[in-house]
Amino acid sequence: MSAIAHLGAAIPDELAEEFLKRLPYVSEGINNVRLLPGSTGVQFELRPGFENQEALVASRISEVASKLCSNHRPGFSKTLAKRDVLPSSFRDDPHPLLAEQGELVSFGRGRYGFGPKLIALMEAFDSRILELAAAFHAPAYTFPSLIGADVLDRCHYFRNFPASLSLVSHLREDHGLLQEFTRSAHWDGEQLDFDRASLSSVECLLSPAVCFHWYAWLGNSKLLEPRVITAIGKCFRYESSNLSGLERLWDFTMREIIFVGPGQYILDHRKTCIDFSVQFLNELGVAYEITSATDPFFADAYAAQAAYQKGFDLKFELLLTLPYSGKKLAAGSSNYHQDFFGRSFDIEAGGASAHTGCLAFGLERMALAFVAQHGVNEKNWPDEVVRRMKTRSAQNV
Amino acid sequence: MAPSTDKLVEQRIQQAIIRALSIPAPGASAPLQMGSTPGWDSMGHMMVVMELEREFDTRFLPYQLPELVDVPSIAKMLVQPGVGSK
């Protein structure tokens, strides 16, 4: 069944993608969403069982549109660097080709396994990023994949990004419930079928970013000098029906270099990070641009938060071209948080709340964009990348 | 004697900031300023901006937001070309 939601005003072109990404979250029943020509309406379908929710879903779509647009400030994206030339004539979608090579397998929405070539490629990227970390004398730290709900609460994550959360539960410590679970829990073809009453409350979530743990680590302290560290970790962001191949994973790997100190220290190092990113992407021979961006804040807060981020130049994304779709994929970002985390976690530097920043690379997205531009045959890849892959592979044997 | 137009604008700005941040009117020795006025941090800033836009029926551009840091700078921005029309 097809229905139409009429919007109060046309969605500006630059907000269209952001708007459409939010629509899977308006209802579990929504399907096959399409922005109509002129951007003043949305066509959608409802899954079986949700047919009577047409008016509700239409009104929610209209509400999301209104909230996104109400304080929207158009234009003025800043592009710091750009390279348009693609390194090869390869234009195919690499996903099926990598699967044929035994390098990629899907385990479900947003969950993939990787073979040795892709792992070596990601490790090659990582080894180059680690050279920058070494230049900053940034020691390596590790953090758990689980993050306390208290930590995310302190950084207002629940308010700003509720839709992407992956909550962690376990079965309650109750012998009767555990016995019942062993008897009744089973996979019903779509999900684990069991009594939800046996679930515990939520103490932890799967961490959506690497750097939060570092701010929590430094919490309630006064830094005698700025701190810079590096860490790699799994990150988890649920993206509903937007989950798509390696472009948008639920579970992905992020390498970060994290800075904490006075504001000018962060800004100085951010410049070095962006210069490094330009050099790194040029070495990879890929087409890219580094452009100001905003985080996907929840619709209720999006317009104001996005305007602030853009106005203060807080976020720049490393966008890599995907020739098979013509889209650009954010494979990394440089982020300046001002004193947000310093205040949230009570970290002082230089007599005031510490400022923070990070340079982050999504390794699976880096690999996808690289392979999409260079092709899946490593004989056509830049020598330096292949050399790094061999070095890493030899170290891993 | 009636206050000058500039003074009236500054008073409206001050009142808008106070409303946005839900704070009591500060004394003359504690001017309203981003970073030092309680609540006027990165999150409070957009509340201030939106309240100013309502008060003056205007729309600031993204690159102007970092400059709206106190009453005099806001007053100066409000008379700049490009500000004052939505």
Confidence category of residue A23, pLDDT binned at 50, 70, 90: very high
Do A135 and A30 share a structural domain? no
Do A224 and A125 share a structural domain? yes
Q: Of A386, A364, A327, nearest to A17 (Cα)?
A: A327
Contact assignment for B45 to A71 by CB distance below 8 Å: no
3-class SS letters over A164-213: HCCEECCECCCHHHHHHHHHHCEECCCCEECCHHHECCCCEEECCCCCHH
Do A300 and A194 share a structural domain? no
Does some domain include residue A185? yes
Q: Would you state the pLDDT for residue A304? A: 82
Does B67 touch chain A if contact means CB atoms closer than 8 Å? no
Chain A residues in contact with B54 by the CB 8 A cut-off are none
CATH topology of domain B3-22+39-78: 1.10.1200
Do A85 and A60 share a structural domain? no
Q: Would you state the pLDDT for residue A160? A: 92
Does some domain include residue A270? yes
**Domain hosting residue A179, numbered range:** 167-198
Do A194 and A221 share a structural domain? no
Q: Would you state the pLDDT for residue B2? A: 58
Per-residue pLDDT at B85 exceeds 60? no
pLDDT digits 0-9 by tens, A115-136: 999 999 999 999 999 999 999 9
Q: Which of A8-17, A148-157, A280-289 has the lowest mean pLDDT?
A: A8-17
If one counts the domains in chain A, the total is: 3
Do A358 and A255 share a structural domain? yes
CA A304, B57, B66, B33 torsion-angle sign: negative
Does some domain include residue A157? no
Confidence category of residue A279, pLDDT binned at 50, 70, 90: very high
Single residue among A177, A198, A219 that ends a domain in this structure: A198
Residue of B nearest to A303 (CA): B46
Single residue among A41, A69, A97 that ends a domain in this structure: A69
Do A102 and A49 share a structural domain? no
Does some domain include residue A151? no
> How much of chain A exceeds pLDDT 90, in percent?
90
Give the domain CATH number at A352: 3.30.930.10
Q: Would you state the pLDDT for residue B1? A: 55
Do A315 and A172 share a structural domain? no
Per-residue pLDDT at B27 exceeds 70? yes
Per-residue pLDDT at A102 exceeds 70? yes
Q: Would you state the pLDDT for residue B42? A: 77
Do A137 and A41 share a structural domain? no
By the 10 Å C-beta count (0-12 exposed, 13-18 middle, 19+ buried), A196 is classed as exposed
C-alpha of A56 from chain center: 30
Both structure tokens of A4: 């139409």
Do A300 and A186 share a structural domain? no
Contacts within 8 Å (CB) and 24+ apart, A347-353? A347/A215, A347/A218, A347/A219, A347/A220, A347/A221, A347/A222, A347/A223, A347/A260, A348/A221, A348/A222, A348/A223, A349/A222, A349/A223, A349/A226, A349/A260, A349/A261, A349/A262, A349/A265, A350/A261, A350/A262, A352/A262
Do A282 and A242 share a structural domain? yes
Which residue did the predictor score with more confidence, B25 or A319? A319
Do A224 and A179 share a structural domain? no
Does some domain include residue A159? no
Does A311 touch chain B if contact means CB atoms closer than 8 Å? yes
Does A160 touch chain B if contact means CB atoms closer than 8 Å? no
Confidence category of residue A16, pLDDT binned at 50, 70, 90: very high
Confidence category of residue B80, pLDDT binned at 50, 70, 90: confident
Does some domain include residue A152? no
| ipTM score of complex | 0.76
- CA-derived radius of gyration, chain B: 12
Contact assignment for A73 to B61 by CB distance below 8 Å: yes
Q: A187 CB contacts (<8 Å, ≥6 apart)?
A: A193
Q: Would you state the pLDDT for residue A72? A: 81
Does A107 touch chain B if contact means CB atoms closer than 8 Å? no
Does some domain include residue A154? no
Pick from B40, B45, B48, B68 the residue to mutate for testing the A interface (most A CBs within 10 Å).
B45
Chain B residues in contact with A305 by the CB 8 A cut-off are 46
Confidence category of residue A389, pLDDT binned at 50, 70, 90: very high
Does some domain include residue A272? yes
Contact assignment for A311 to B63 by CB distance below 8 Å: yes
Q: Of A58, A60, A77, nearest to A15 (Cα)?
A: A77
